[in-house]
Amino acid sequence: MTALNETHDPLAQSWVASANAPDTDFPLQNLPFGVFRRQGSAEPFRGGVAIGDQVVDLAALQALGVFEGEAAAALAAAAGPTLNPLMALGAPAASALRLALSRALRAGSPLAARLDACLLAQARAEYAVPAQIGDYTDFYTSIHHATNVGRLFRPDNPLLPNYQWVPIGYHGRCSSIGVSGQAFPRPRGQTRAPDAERPTLGPSRRLDYELELGVFIGRGNALGEPVPLDEAEDHVFGLCLFNDWSARDLQAWEYQPLGPFLSKNFASTLAPWIVTLEALAPYRVGWTRPAADPQPLAYLESPALRAAGAFDIRLEVALETAAMRARGRAPARLSLTSFRHAYWSVSQMVAHHTVNGCNLSPGDLLGSGTQSGPTPAEAGSLLELTRGGKEALSLPDGETRIFLDDGDTVILRGWCEREGYRRIGFGECRGTVLPARG
């Protein structure tokens, strides 16, 4: 697991003034990776790193030829239209590039004047999905979410027998994954009313969001070669915010016997910035399992996992309705929780995914599943917050919601805070529901 180093120094300042603001998501201690171009241009997308309210253009930086060795090789891999080549080099290469960037962006750097020409204001940038996603698997790692949802359908026995033994997941559709700012039409599909003999085709009436983290795979593994738990994080490039939208009414009709289909494949939204596991090192916490629960099988268990295998990432959901936008109102917070409550860890997801010999590739995406905490205010979906649609949420100015309306924008935010270290953040993940087509 990543050790602390000079890039985590809480006293380090940047010559990019906005990176020194106490509330910025992107101080010098973060340096997340993404893919961008100048807004409204036909320029090629290229790799970038967020610093304060700016983006470092990695293609322009590479042209300067100021880095050497492993950092230069990593920079060349990160300068293209996707981050897959950088991911494939593995964690040491990304760490070398992050260290070189940290030094170059620090106050007093002799490279400041030359790098200043490589900056673009984030407000003037547009973003793409940061990697070519070959495969996408969505997990179900929050026991609080699983219990909340299970209780709606099985009040006396909400958890299925396998949940506490195996990290549950399903393979999803990657072609409809978009970047923050994604707007998509309300999905259509089959539903069947409880008193109806036949299903009908129409727009979903129970459209929901899911508060998740995305896990981008870095270095892959060969077919047939499982990744041991204590090596799993060597295969992870970083984490980002992820909203896996869900049509709950379509899901209820179609999910047996093979699970989600049209209820999940119409849209999923990623934040543009991937925060590396190295940047998250100060915010690790011990991974725990209640003593009364079944303890993991040997391949999902280790002292290192118990000591520091979880991350305290604060996760927030906010809702901006069309009426709020029209009136200039701020979005309303719906929930706040932490990834530290996840029942299964990032490393356990990777170890279990590969224990049968499944080969992961650079740029593959794992979803954490909806993240909910132990209290009602920490629920990561409207399905939970409204108790299955039975209790409407009250919003500012008298609006209410049971599920999402057309024109609603859901905003996910994430950040890490710990005394003695700089706050770092994940930016925003925004998506907007449009009226159904057809």
User: Pairing state of beta strands 365-367 and 211-217?
Assistant: antiparallel
pLDDT score at 254 = 94
Q: Which residues are annotated as a binding site for substrate?
A: 140, 154, 251, 255, 370
Q: Which residues are annotated as a binding site for Ca(2+)?
A: 138, 210, 212, 244
Q: Is the pLDDT of residue 320 over 90?
A: yes
In the numeric block, the tokens 């204001």 are attached to: 121
Distance CA(287)–CA(342), nearest Å, equals 9
Instruction: Show the tokens assigned to 431.
Output: 């998506």
List, by residue range, all CATH 3.90.850.10 domains of the chain.
136-434
Is omega for the bond preceding 257 within 30 degrees of 0, making it cis? yes
Distance CA(197)–CA(192), nearest Å, equals 8
Q: Are 27 and 15 in contact (CB under 8 A)?
A: no
Q: What percent of the chain has pLDDT over 70?
A: 100
DSSP state of 295: P
Identify which of 153-162, 252-261, 340-349 has the greatest average pLDDT: 340-349
In the numeric block, the tokens 């979880």 are attached to: 310
Active-site residues: which are they? Answer: 145
Average pLDDT, the chain: 97
Q: Which residues are annotated as a binding site?
A: 138, 140, 154, 210, 212, 244, 251, 255, 264, 268, 370
Report residue 92's pLDDT band, with 50, 70 and 90 as the boundaries.
very high
Distance CA(61)–CA(72), nearest Å, equals 10
Burial 66-92 (b: 16+ CB within 10 A, else e): bbeebbbbbbbbbbbebbbbbbbbbbe
Among candidate residues 374, 381, 368, the one with its CA nearest the CA of residue 167: 368
Assign a CATH topology to domain 136-434.
Answer: Fumarylacetoacetate hydrolase; domain 2 (3.90.850)
Report the pLDDT averaged over residues 76-85. 98
Report the pLDDT averaged over residues 220-226. 98
Among candidate residues 84, 77, 134, the one with its CA nearest the CA of residue 360: 134
DSSP state of 274: B
- Helix intervals (H) in 65-136: 69-78, 84-89, 91-105, 112-116
Report residue 1's pLDDT band, with 50, 70 and 90 as the boundaries.
low
Q: Are 397 and 171 in contact (CB under 8 A)?
A: no
Q: Phi and psi dihedrals of 117, rounded to 5? A: -75, -10
Give one word for 65, left, alpha or beta, with left for phi > 0 and alpha for psi -120 to 50.
Answer: left
Q: Is the pLDDT of residue 163 over 80?
A: yes
User: Pairing state of beta strands 207-208 and 332-338?
Assistant: unpaired
List, by residue range, all CATH 2.30.30.230 domains of the chain.
6-127
Q: What CATH number does domain 6-127 carry, 3.40.50.10070, 3.50.50.60, 3.40.640.10, 2.30.30.230?
A: 2.30.30.230
Report the pLDDT averaged over residues 151-161. 90
Report the pLDDT averaged over residues 11-38. 98
Cβ partners under 8 Å of residue 426, min gap 6: 25, 32, 239, 240, 241, 271, 273, 275, 313, 413, 414, 415
Report the pLDDT averaged over residues 82-102. 98
